Structure 1
């Protein structure tokens, strides 16, 4: 080939070269099931060498510029903007990689199944077994929580059990005392129980202890000085005896003087067979007629 023909060939190639931003985009690849159908290569024609040279020149320009320009002639971005590849589709969902990195949601633990409702016979036996081992009166709410049953069923069934014991003439009875329920021996068999438990030894409260206990029961909460003022004598030793017997206990401090306050205990209610101190008998019938004169004289 002569120099003149070579210059004409180079001029033709330069004229046929298309800038990268004016070149059409390559068609999208066919689906996977149609790849084998369209693997034919484009026919080679007289302009194939020109197109090849133009493509090599465009690739070199792209590598030198750092990125392919857009269709509108603006240079392309050198790097993808952060978050651009993580954007989802029009629906707003993230990419597959982002969804994999998300921590899985923890499902809430299923609620425990409700306790089965006991029939009356089984619930009756369970109540009797618990009442046989309690050391102090137990409330209906506590029994309902232990047995996982409705409190509305416990009260009527306990009344029915107590009535059944009384009708059958047992030596014990189920009685409400101190805000709860407990089994007690019947009063008519008290002499036999005392003979077995005490075995000839009887411990009784003195007259001073009974008077002090009565003052605490009717005036509680009350201080030690107030008890001594009502009785007219020092009651420190007697009060310590009542505390050691479990009949009286401390229940706080008086705000004005800082003295300890005393009240009766649950054992006191059990010994007297009372449900609360409101069931104590009134004092009016036991007071002397000149109680007001005596009160004025002590002032």
Structure 2
């Protein structure tokens, strides 16, 4: 029996997933969840055949150059913009991701942020905890209606469709913008419009599109200026899709009313202007953070690796073109 392939796992993973991988690989794992520097990662990957990463790990040319034996990368995320696909293709390295597992949990999170931001939940809770609630008033923390309002979804893939389905319970008008018309638009009750029209008409805008250079700062100064001053913006997609500095300025100037953000440019670093912007709800990239979703993501990432070395098709392989 030959030597088992060598696997590097960059983050702590669930015991049941580690046990499954341990039966198939010679593992070096960051189970202590230590903060590895870029140099640490490069040193650890040098003799590895396989790599299990997360969305905050950069798999770039420098890392690939440091890993001459690397044959496959599996990321525990749907998005793969942190992986240099062209460089992987050039080296014959396969790439796997974890679509579908987190669809419903992430759609739930979109609604969590939308409702919290539109109804000023975080802002009013901080005010209450600070001991400022002395009496009730008619005009105290007036938020925006969701029932029978207009929802705009930018990106009508699996998660965008799940967000749209949930809007039925609020009897919302649903608009969407996408690279192409969605085949399921009638099924989810959504109407296609151009992006500028969506921004102008929607009371609430949810971003669910993948990050690329083409989608960088999809929402910037110009786009924010098109939105209603009473509007809410929610980003559960990827950092970089929103110009965070422009959003902070828009919130402070009252050009839009509220925002709910789970992802950020340069995360985990945060634009400090967002911290004191009014009407903003901030969460630390927890869109898929239910146990069933996160275990499912890690297990699918593991299954991709196991299938590759068993010579089977990976359950979720990223096309490299």
Which of the five TM-score ranges fits, normalised by the shorter chain? under 0.3
Structure with the higher helix share, 1 or 2: 1
Normalized against structure 2, the TM-score is what? 0.23
Normalized against structure 1, the TM-score is what? 0.24
Structure with the higher strand share, 1 or 2: 2
Instruction: Pick 1 or 2: higher relative contact order, CA cutoff 8 A, min separation 6.
Output: 2
Structure number with bigger Rg: 1
